[in-house]
């Protein structure tokens, strides 16, 4: 049988990501591919760097996009900064904190875990207690926006505590970037990574990262080579930094970077604060409708992520049937529960281009019909 071209259905993506991609981003993706060392392309990479500095609210010179998804951004931070001689305090309140532990264990660094409740923010007092009990700790890592539960942690407070104990901070901002307040320099975040497919509403497959000067110094002064050749930032730095000095490291995902550039231009045009406010406004609107449908949030109101709304599946309702109904009848994707919430929760995303009135209205109408 001759296989035909693939035409995906037109879905509305309101799950935990990927989110709806803006039509402007999709059309940027279709622009002509040029060489990744072409001077025009290099100029665009410089602009991506500047736009990412804005999105992250940082002046960090080492700010760029890893050519791979958010998990690679996470691994980039861990493998470059850590060695077996380091002690890392990892705060866990969901699936992605567990992945941080996996990274630390594979590197062989010493691990201190701050066990948090799933569906709650990381408790600053628990981090403080762990640092008091482990004075040798030199890194603190946590997830700002836990996509598996919809909990937002107070990154500013956690970083401030980490700094009191002279620790470098590693922050997962995969779901937070562009959707909630994030201020890398002001909050003293040393290494941060994100993903293109959440509140930036770009296609999946890129991971913006940024390292403070202190973090860059740690990487440059390592006495052992980073175990991953591809993610070794001492090699990638030569590719992303230094006008006119770029040399081949790997073939950049040229068209995906056009898409990232466009998504960041859209963010800049809207304004970061306006984007945060829009996510909050759409969340408020969705929350009222979900409450009217009798759906309860997992996370207490003050710790809720606007862009990821996790609600408990009511007793007697078939999780899979409802999600299939939404997909088949409304072309609408919402997310299943993950980890401890598998089968128990739905995760309704309002990320980037998906955080719009029409999406909220569609989602509430479709859910109402599904729950009849």
Contact residues for ligand PLP, defined by CB under 6 A:
16-17, 69-71, 74, 96, 143, 147, 172, 174-175, 195, 204
CB of 52 to ligand PLP, least distance (A): 16
Peptide bond into 372 cis (omega under 30): no
CB of 18 to ligand PLP, least distance (A): 9
55 or 364, CB closer to ligand PLP? 55
Distance CA 79, CA 91 (A): 18
86 or 146, CB closer to ligand PLP? 146
CB of 308 to ligand PLP, least distance (A): 8
CB of 23 to ligand PLP, least distance (A): 22
69 or 116, CB closer to ligand PLP? 69
Distance CA 306, CA 158 (A): 20
CB of 166 to ligand PLP, least distance (A): 26
CB atoms within 10 A of CB 177: 27
Backbone phi, then psi, for 49, in 5-degree steps?
A: -60, -45
143 or 152, CB closer to ligand PLP? 143
Distance CA 26, CA 178 (A): 19
CB atoms within 10 A of CB 372: 5
3-state secondary structure of 69: coil
All residues at 6 or more sequence positions from 51 whose CB lies less than 8 Å from its CB, including other chains: 261, 264, 265, 267, 268
CB of 99 to ligand PLP, least distance (A): 7
Instruction: Please report how the helices 70-81 and 213-220 are oriented relative to each other, as an axis angle in degrees rounded to 10.
Output: 60
Name the residue number minimizing CB distance to ligand PLP.
Answer: 70
3-state secondary structure of 229: coil
107 or 364, CB closer to ligand PLP? 107
34 or 113, CB closer to ligand PLP? 113
Map tokens 């264990």 to a residue.
105
């Amino acid at each position: 049988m001759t296989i035909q071209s693939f035409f995906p259905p037109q879905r509305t993506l309101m799950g935990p990501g990927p989110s709806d991609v803006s039509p402007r981003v999709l059309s940027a993706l279709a622009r002509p591919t040029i060489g990744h060392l072409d001077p025009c392309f290099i100029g665009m990479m410089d602009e991506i760097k500047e736009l990412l500095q804005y999105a992250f609210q940082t002046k960090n010179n080492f700010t760029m996009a890893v050519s791979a998804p958010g998990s690679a951004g996470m691994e980039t931070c861990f493998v470059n900064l850590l060695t077996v001689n380091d002690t890392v305090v990892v705060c866990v309140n969901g699936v992605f904190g567990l992945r941080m532990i996996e990274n630390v264990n594979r590197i062989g660094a010493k691990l201190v875990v701050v066990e948090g409740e799933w569906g709650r923010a990381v408790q600053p007092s628990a981090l403080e207690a762990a640092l008091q009990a482990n004075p040798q700790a030199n890194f603190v890592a946590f997830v700002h926006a836990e996509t598996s539960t919809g909990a937002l942690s107070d990154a500013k407070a956690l970083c401030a505590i980490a700094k009191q104990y002279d620790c470098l901070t590693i922050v997962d901002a995969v779901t937070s970037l562009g959707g909630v307040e994030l201020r890398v320099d002001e909050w003293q975040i040393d290494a941060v990574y994100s993903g293109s497919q959440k509140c930036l509403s770009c296609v999946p497959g890129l991971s913006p990262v940024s390292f403070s000067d202190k973090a860059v110094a740690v990487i440059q002064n390592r006495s052992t080579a980073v175990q991953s050749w591809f993610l070794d930032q001492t090699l990638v730095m030569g590719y992303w930094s230094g006008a006119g000095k770029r040399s081949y490291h790997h073939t950049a995902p040229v068209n995906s970077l056009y898409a990232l550039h466009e998504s960041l231009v859209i963010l800049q045009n809207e304004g970061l604060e306006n984007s945060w406010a829009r996510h909050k406004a759409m969340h408020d609107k969705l929350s009222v409708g979900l409450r009217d449908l009798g759906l309860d949030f997992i996370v207490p109101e003050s710790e809720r992520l606007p862009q990821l709304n996790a609600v408990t599946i009511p007793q007697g309702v078939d999780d899979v049937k409802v999600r299939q109904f939404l997909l088949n009848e409304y072309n609408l994707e919402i997310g299943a529960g993950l980890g401890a919430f598998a089968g128990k929760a739905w995760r309704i995303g309002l990320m980037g281009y998906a955080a719009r009135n029409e999406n909220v209205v569609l989602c509430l109408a479709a859910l109402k019909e599904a729950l009849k």
